[in-house]
A and B are shown apart, each in its own frame.
Chain A
Amino acid sequence: MTLTVEDLVSVAPAVGINAVSKAYGRGPDAVRALDRVSLDVRAGEFVCLVGASGCGKTTLLNLVAGLDSPTLGTIDTGGRRTGLMFQEAALFPWLTAGANVELALELRGVRSRTERREQAAELLERVHLRGAADQRPHELSGGMRQRVALARALAQDAEVLLMDEPFGALDAMTRDLLHDELERLWSTTGLTVVFVTHNVREAARLGDRIVLLTSRPGRVAASYDVDIPRPRRIESREVAALAADVTDRLRSEVRRHGH
């Protein structure tokens, strides 16, 4: 069988991370945050990165988002727009929820005011927050703020959504609901998601693939394909079993640092 152009395009990764190293500072005092990390993320894939704290997860996302550049190696997103979400919603406190989303649209280049307003309303609707457009961030709960942040990230019209422990600060019930919400958005939009977490169960709940990073310097230690059919529940036996496997591996990685 011969490969068509479409095949080639669909084979090319949405995010290609090729032997990327990142060091902060120079000389003997330099912190080696990442060491020759290679990872391909397919278009439409949901990849979860797990690893102990300080293993370079945030660094890697910053590099993919283009906020910083690698010391060595290359990152190729094929010109795709990336959106980034943090653990804190990082909404601008002087703007309403709606205006936060509108600002993202404005910075993306949506000129017309009315168009921005309409699109922002639609985006808030998509995260089930149509009533919150006129609220200010401090008037919203943590979960609502994270959903506004999600709407704002979607407003960037990103094909690749980078999420840095986005639900880490939320209570379990809110987090479960946001997992459902994120899964629904992802499955209906064809987004590519790179989701960083230190919660292995969350990774098993959400990911098509779990990539385990080692610490100091960060390297890819293992990769797990998650075959559990969706929709998944975080309490399910399959999710728990996979999480146990990954946790064992993570612990053995952490133990290496003990001596």
Chain B
Amino acid sequence: MAIDSRLLEEELAGLDALDLEEDKPVDRLAKVWSALWPKLAAVFLAVAAWQLTVWSHWRPEYVLPSPVRVLGQLGNLLGEGEFYRAIAITLRRALTGYALAVLVGTLVGASVARVRPLRTAVGSLITGLQTMPSIAWFPLAILLFQLSESAILFVVVLGAAPSIANGLIAGVDHVPPLLLRAGRVLGASGLRLYRHVILPASLPSFVAGLKQGWAFAWRSLMAGELLVILANRPSIGARLQFARELSDAPALLALMIVVLLIGIVVDGVFNQVDGHIRRRRGLTAGA
């Protein structure tokens, strides 16, 4: 053999080693802390501002209670069986509605992205639907389904599905042409090109759509639960409405905190998934 293969191998290995970054040891605790403290500081500032407003007597205590009273009320709620039933019902509605929205959004998104005439016909309609405030759907929903679970579900699905469809469409539209070419060179076409190249390439955009879809679903659900109150179906929205009717400010604020917390937790889950996908593809600045 004319070329000294062993020498070449050593040189390549040397270059490779020089090219790769060294693995830095990560201090997990420090990492968690650096992610956590700004959030804790933000919570502290918000609570402090709230407390200062209370102390300024801008509104009487029975309208704007102090953080301590609201936290106490939150504690009471957490000890109450009925409260968990309400959360369970609300979350079940959220999950059912969201699951349906994912199904509808994905089907619509996939067909619109693939079929050109459908694209021109409904592409902009979907974006239009996305800007429609979900509360505007309720009169129609109530006409169609009366005051029922279906009315709530209808609006949740309509609120969330357009974002999900749009995320998928945008993802398919923005698959890098080079990767499409690479896929075709390797012999993928039609469905196989979809499965091995187009869908994986559009995943980050799809996840962004899923996340936005969740936010819309959650908002629509809260609007729905305030409007559509069903007998024997306690829910977070219904309890919020009752708290307002009874002028029970501490309970009202405690419930709002619950709504906020659920939103934050789910958002955190989506961010984890999103971050994971991006890190694996080297799409993050720090990776």
CB distance from B14 to the nearest CB of A (A): 10
B203:A136 contact, CB within 8 angstroms:
no
B203:A94 contact, CB within 8 angstroms:
yes
A residues 49-75 touching B (CB-CB < 8 Å): 65, 67
CB distance from B279 to the nearest CB of A (A): 9
B2:A230 contact, CB within 8 angstroms:
yes
CB distance from B30 to the nearest CB of A (A): 23
Residue A133 lies at the interface, judged by CB distance under 8 Å to chain B: no
Residues of B within 8 A of A177 (CB): 8, 11-12, 15
Given A128-B13, A184-B5 in contact, is the A67-B184 Cβ separation under 8 Å? yes
Given A94-B200, A187-B2 in contact, is the A128-B179 Cβ separation under 8 Å? no
Separation of A188 and B13 alpha carbons in the complex (Å):
21
Binary A-proximity of B195-214 (CB < 8 A = 1, otherwise 0) = 01100110100000000000
B residues 1-44 touching A (CB-CB < 8 Å): 1-3, 5, 8-9, 11-13, 15-16, 19-20
Given A67-B181, A67-B185, A92-B182 in contact, is the A138-B8 Cβ separation under 8 Å? no
A181:B8 contact, CB within 8 angstroms:
yes
CB distance from B129 to the nearest CB of A (A): 30
Partner among B1, B13, B178, B185 whose Cβ is within 8 Å of the Cβ of A88: B178
CB distance from B276 to the nearest CB of A (A): 11
Residue of chain B at shortest CB distance from A87: B178
Residue of chain B at shortest CB distance from A62: B181
A183:B19 contact, CB within 8 angstroms:
no
B8:A83 contact, CB within 8 angstroms:
no
Residue A219 lies at the interface, judged by CB distance under 8 Å to chain B: no
Partner among A83, A136, A139, A181 whose Cβ is within 8 Å of the Cβ of B20: A139
Given A107-B188, A141-B19, A187-B2 in contact, is the A128-B282 Cβ separation under 8 Å? no
CB distance from A177 to the nearest CB of B (A): 6
Separation of A91 and B12 alpha carbons in the complex (Å):
20
Residues of B within 8 A of A93 (CB): 280-283
Given A86-B182, A92-B179, A128-B13 in contact, is the A138-B281 Cβ separation under 8 Å? yes
Residue of chain A at shortest CB distance from B204: A94
Residues of B within 8 A of A9 (CB): none
B280:A136 contact, CB within 8 angstroms:
yes
- Residue of A90, A103, A129, A177 contacting most chain B CB atoms (<10 Å): A90
Given A107-B192, A107-B196, A183-B3 in contact, is the A90-B181 Cβ separation under 8 Å? yes
Binary A-proximity of B234-271 (CB < 8 A = 1, otherwise 0) = 00000000000000000000000000000000000000
B19:A144 contact, CB within 8 angstroms:
yes
B185:A137 contact, CB within 8 angstroms:
no
Residues of B within 8 A of A88 (CB): 178
Separation of A84 and B184 alpha carbons in the complex (Å):
10
Partner among B8, B16, B187, B192 whose Cβ is within 8 Å of the Cβ of A184: B8
CB distance from B245 to the nearest CB of A (A): 52
Separation of A83 and B283 alpha carbons in the complex (Å):
28
Residue B186 lies at the interface, judged by CB distance under 8 Å to chain A: yes
Residues of B within 8 A of A141 (CB): 15-16, 19-20
Residue A231 lies at the interface, judged by CB distance under 8 Å to chain B: yes
Given A86-B178, A90-B182, A231-B2 in contact, is the A107-B187 Cβ separation under 8 Å? yes
A139:B3 contact, CB within 8 angstroms:
no
Partner among B179, B185, B197, B280 whose Cβ is within 8 Å of the Cβ of A83: B185
Residue B136 lies at the interface, judged by CB distance under 8 Å to chain A: no
A174:B8 contact, CB within 8 angstroms:
no
Separation of A92 and B184 alpha carbons in the complex (Å):
13
Residue of chain A at shortest CB distance from B184: A67
CB distance from B204 to the nearest CB of A (A): 9
B186:A138 contact, CB within 8 angstroms:
no
Separation of A93 and B181 alpha carbons in the complex (Å):
14
Residues of A within 8 A of B197 (CB): 92
Residue B287 lies at the interface, judged by CB distance under 8 Å to chain A: yes
Residue A156 lies at the interface, judged by CB distance under 8 Å to chain B: yes
Separation of A1 and B130 alpha carbons in the complex (Å):
79
Residues of B within 8 A of A129 (CB): 16
Separation of A107 and B186 alpha carbons in the complex (Å):
7
Interface residues of B, Cβ cutoff 8 Å to A: 1-3, 5, 8-9, 11-13, 15-16, 19-20, 178-179, 181-182, 184-188, 192, 196-197, 200-201, 203, 277, 280-283, 287
Q: Which 4 A-B pairs have the closest CB atoms?
A: A138-B282, A141-B19, A90-B182, A93-B281
**A-B pairs with beta carbons under 8 Å apart, 15 shown:** A83-B185, A86-B178, A90-B182, A92-B182, A92-B196, A92-B200, A94-B201, A95-B200, A103-B186, A107-B186, A141-B19, A143-B15, A156-B187, A177-B12, A180-B8
Further contacts, 8 of them, CB under 8 A, given A132-B16, A177-B8, A184-B3: A92-B201, A107-B192, A137-B282, A138-B287, A141-B20, A181-B12, A187-B3, A231-B2
